[in-house]
Amino acid sequence: MVNCVESVPKLNLCRAYNLGIIEYEQARQLQNNLVSARIAGDIPDIALLLQHHPVLTIGASGNEQNILTSQERLASKGIPVIRTDRGGDVTYHGPGQLVGYLIFDLKTHGTGLHQYVRRLEEVIIRTLNHFSITAHRDPQYPGVWVRHAKICALGIRVSRWVTKHGFALNVNTDLKHFTGIIPCGIADRRATSMAQVLGHEIALEEVASCLCEQCAWVFHINISEKPAEELIGYYVR
């Protein structure tokens, strides 16, 4: 694991799982089952790190008019459009993008929703800084930005103080897919990626490892990486 941060006392436990590339609907079912288990107290906090096959998702308050590409053209490319229950508007997920779905019980963290979002942004900003990318928040919009371009989108939902969904960090993402949408419903901004900023691709495993360490630091948790096979039962219930 990349050593990105100094040691810090930790409080809560968190299990991290790298799921590779999976379908969006499969990940959504998994999250719903894990949220139920977290609410019941059957599991600790969970961090799912993964990539999706190409898909456009629309948040709960999103506008389908922010999809500029026709449904026929999207279908011909095998890119589904899925309405989901996260916050935010339209975004693209696909290979080369590191997605993090966090199943956290905010009561155990002593934090509210607004502070949770700020902490997520801090995790991403600190991770990017490790790779010599200067990023920042925008007071108008959630997410993380490099200059005026969005490099990481955030969208969450909370049920009985347990979170799901999370962030989508563009690492080696094919950015041409963002030209067919108005990303996050913001017409005068564009998307960027770590690879575009740095001029070369980066191993997602290295980014994921650093991101876990930054998450442990920001949220004061002990993160232990576990095999994805532990979650098999949560896919089918």
Nearest 5°: CA angle at 197, between 194 and 202?
A: 40
Among 184, 210, 212, 215, the active-site one is 184
Q: How far is CA 113 from CA 63, 93, 109, 159, in A?
A: 23, 24, 11, 11
DSSP symbols for 140-191: TEEEEEETTEEEEEEEEEEETTEEEEEEEEESS--GGGGGGB-GGG-TT-EE
Helix residue spans in 110-198 (DSSP H): 113-130, 194-198
Helix (H, G, I), strand (E, B) or coil at 188: coil
The reply to whether 184 belongs to the active site is yes
Residue count of the chain, please give it.
Answer: 237
Alpha-carbon torsion, ordered 154, 155, 159, 163, to 10 deg: -30
Structure tokens at 121: 């942004």
Number of helices and strands in the chain (H, E): 7, 12
Measured at the CA of 24, the angle between CA 29 and CA 37, to 5 degrees, comes to 25
Positions marked active-site? 184
